[in-house]
Structure 1
């Protein structure tokens, strides 16, 4: 049995010589008829072999390289080696008594794009981003049960099937669980639900930023947490000694979720302000009342829409920075974050510079964060490191 060959355009060969893992439709000469999950060999114009990939449609991608050596099947031994290595690379987190929620396999960063695996205490959550990746589910679950030995396993399917986008949660195996369940990162507790749509209750990739807010910024400060979701940044700030927090999010259930997160950490939520409100309307309110905060957290979704306006991080982050700077106290701090993969750090910094210019505020960047170590990314290709966080210290 041999794999079909897919030939690269000559102009794209250089990136694969460097080990690029994702194959886009535009990179290849012609796509033969392939089934989701079918293996194929990626070759150059002169027949040079660049790796074996599986076919899996994901956004503009049509496959991921999974082996630098020719293979005709991904068997149990392949996945056992893959997941054992990924699991061992997180040994420092396994050994950390204060953290039990983190990523144990991060797609292309662990050499199998289209799948992520997160550990929430003794429960696993798999997120599938293509039907091609999902076609290997049975053998992957079998291997993970042996390597990780979780109490229960959940999955989220996030891909197109026959032109229909699948966004589905499922319990897979093990013990059924009643949610919410409690997990912790750096000693902070979070209530999570693995069976409630695309969100779980906490963004695991912001672990290091929340720790920095708690340990380095929050003490005796007032904190405004915008696009606050379940209030995780507010909790971190209060546990770091913040005077007060204001959490603002348009989603109606954000209030109940924020109260829940504060309560499980022993925080008196009634002493904090929690607003279910459009963030930009709240900026208007704050400016009218001349309200200021020592620390402002900006962690917006890539795209948001309300009744009166829409917001895109790649186009409008300068406006967001301007509005935030207007409510930041003299010599205050802004935590500026984006998870928009298409917005690179250079452009992100340009948008921040423009927003600060419009606000008439001078600043310096005092810290820079990317994805934490458990969210492994290919070292040579920074575009897979989607998280960009800058700590902005205002000078005036």
Structure 2
């Protein structure tokens, strides 16, 4: 007999309990086909749940579990044309921002600020790697920074960070995330604008960093209409970034493009780097048992 939806959810959540403790209360609890239900995903943020599906309708079996789970639950339809807030599905509504914790760091989460909730949980281990690698006073550049989670991780390790994003509201959110961890935003730098523009500017200025984080969208178009596609153009990013790195520095390069294989991403991201570079492929967090969509490379230069 096939297990019910409730059994599948309960089993997946139970086997991830070892990831939850006083230092971490935000993880993926259910990972689609890897846990037995294709295109259904569940994440917890400080005991508030976000259910994500690729279908417009939720099956009654899935709905029944969440309507009786006793948690605040929001539902998000993935890959939608209009990136809207998740829909309140069950439990008390969460109308205000709140704090979730990951690896001992506090991040502000919101279910009312659009399609994403403030932190991408699939980058948890990469954030830990950044924090462990930096030293006091290291200069770290976080591009496509969103709400600055990588910046906070680096700053917690003693680094001086520069956070770069197109959106001023996200830069302001990054400042709040620093402050939530007793870090003074005035001791760090914030750059509003296009990553390619700023990297070119840093190259011309001779400005150098000890580490650079690259986690671009799969597809984008700049204000002059120039298109960026991960599978064809990532080398442009790593090339510019490598020219802004101090000797002995590093680049963390990530993408979640399903069109590009691990091997092709390694080739695309490294083909203009110095021949002496060292590349290390990084795994996703352990609870991602389904599709290994996130590709991450650590380049030591």
Q: For residues 199-255 of structure 1, what are the alpha-carbon distances to aligned partners after superposition, in whole Å with 9 as ceiling and x for unaligned?
A: 11011110001001111234431101111111111100010111x111111123222
SS in 2 for 1:105: strand
Extract unaligned runs of 5+ from structure 1. 1-68, 72-76, 378-383
Q: For residues 44-66 of structure 1, what are the alpha-carbon distances to aligned partners after superposition, in whole Å with 9 as ceiling and x for unaligned?
A: xxxxxxxxxxxxxxxxxxxxxxx
Partner of 1:124: 49
SS in 1 for 2:278: strand
Q: Please state how far the C-alpha of 1:361 moved relative to its aligned partner.
A: 5.3
- Please give the root-mean-square deviation of Cα atoms over the aligned residues, in Å: 1.9
Equivalent pair of 1:254/1:276 in contact (CA under 8 Å):
no
Equivalent pair of 1:130/1:159 in contact (CA under 8 Å):
no
CA distance in 2, matches of 1:329, 1:219: 15
Q: Please state how far the C-alpha of 1:369 moved relative to its aligned partner.
A: 1.6
1:283 aligns with 2:190: no
Q: Please state how far the C-alpha of 1:158 moved relative to its aligned partner.
A: 3.0
Partner of 1:296: 212
Count of aligned positions: 300
Partner of 1:7: none
Partner of 1:153: 73
CA distance in 1, matches of 2:85, 2:137: 43
CA distance in 1, matches of 2:60, 2:258: 26
Alignment of 1:329-344 (within 5 A): 329-344=246-261
Normalized per residue, the structure richer in strand is 1
Partner of 1:80: 6
Partner of 1:369: 282
Q: Please state how far the C-alpha of 1:330 moved relative to its aligned partner.
A: 1.3
1:320 aligned residue (234, 237, 262):
237
1:186 aligns with 2:103: yes
CA distance in 2, matches of 1:218, 1:131: 46
Q: Which has the higher contact order (CA 8 A, sep 6+)?
A: 2
Q: Please state how far the C-alpha of 1:176 moved relative to its aligned partner.
A: 2.1
1:234 aligns with 2:155: no
SS in 1 for 2:182: coil
TM-score, with length taken from structure 1: 0.72
Partner of 2:37: 112
Equivalent pair of 1:227/1:299 in contact (CA under 8 Å):
yes
TM-score, with length taken from structure 2: 0.93
- 1:166 to 1:222, Cα distance in 2 relative to 1, 3 A: closer
Q: Please state how far the C-alpha of 1:307 moved relative to its aligned partner.
A: 0.7
Partner of 1:60: none
Equivalent pair of 2:218/2:255 in contact (CA under 8 Å):
yes
